[in-house]
Amino acid sequence: MDPRNRTGPSGDFRAVDGVTVRDLQPNVPVQGTLRSVRRDAWTLYPNDVIGRVWIILKKPLAGTALPVDDPTALEVFTTICPHLGCSVNLNANPSTGFTCPCHAAQYNLDGSRKNQATSVAPRGMDALEWKIEADPGDPNRQLLLVKFQSFKAGAAQKEEVK
């Protein structure tokens, strides 16, 4: 499995790294990174990558009051494929959605499965909760926060793994 998909701390809202909210364009997916403290038996990693997400702006945010938590404004999906956990890629033509490189499951931009009858994926891409708040360090900057969760691979229903 891709080490980027290893299990990390679950359940908290975390700021998404690598994404500037005001630069998001409608229906153009952008990948962001979630970081946190991670420990293994010997080492403490203070700012390790614990997950990646695809972010899709659904409607312009200009002039929207903060915090933004309108569920129709954005969609955020974990990059982890619900089949067996590989990292789902954006297609060369972004308007055609996503493809998993491991067993070729394909997803639409809204995260739903393509070719449902024959897809190896048991469900669509897993959406994550999000909110946009003012950055406490810079009130003019919008901060995208995502609730990091992992879900059971291979299951038809979305089931959180803690």
Under the criterion CB under 6 A, does residue 86 sit at the interface with ligand FES? Answer: yes
Under the criterion CB under 6 A, does residue 83 sit at the interface with ligand FES? Answer: yes
- The answer to whether the CB of 47 falls within 8 A of the CB of 34 is no
CA-CA distance, 81 to 43, in Å (whole number)? Answer: 28
CA-CA distance, 112 to 27, in Å (whole number)? Answer: 15
Which pairing describes strands 44-57 and 30-39: parallel, antiparallel, or unpaired? antiparallel
Give the nearest distance from C-beta 80 to ligand FES in angstroms: 9
Task: Output phi, psi for 111, to 5 deg.
Answer: 90, -10
- In 6-135, the DSSP E strands lie at 13-17, 30-39, 44-57, 74-78, 89-90, 98-99, 106-107, 130-135
Among 19, 66, 68, 102, which residue sits at the site for ligand FES (rule: CB under 6 A)? Answer: 102
Give the nearest distance from C-beta 152 to ligand FES in angstroms: 13
Query: Which helix H or strand E contains 146, and what residues bound it?
Result: strand 138-147
Give the nearest distance from C-beta 99 to ligand FES in angstroms: 9
Q: Which is nearer to ligand FES, 39 or 103 (CB)?
A: 103
Residues 11-50 interacting with ligand FES (rule: CB under 6 A): none
Under the criterion CB under 6 A, does residue 125 sit at the interface with ligand FES? Answer: no
Under the criterion CB under 6 A, does residue 90 sit at the interface with ligand FES? Answer: no
What is the maximal distance between C-alpha atoms in the chain? 49
Under the criterion CB under 6 A, does residue 120 sit at the interface with ligand FES? Answer: yes
Give me the amino acid identity at 59: K
Among 28-36, 56-64, 95-103, 138-146, the segment contacting ligand FES (CB under 6 A): 95-103
Q: Which is nearer to ligand FES, 73 or 84 (CB)?
A: 84
- Residues of this chain that interact with ligand FES (CB under 6 A) are 81, 83-86, 100, 102-103, 105, 120-121
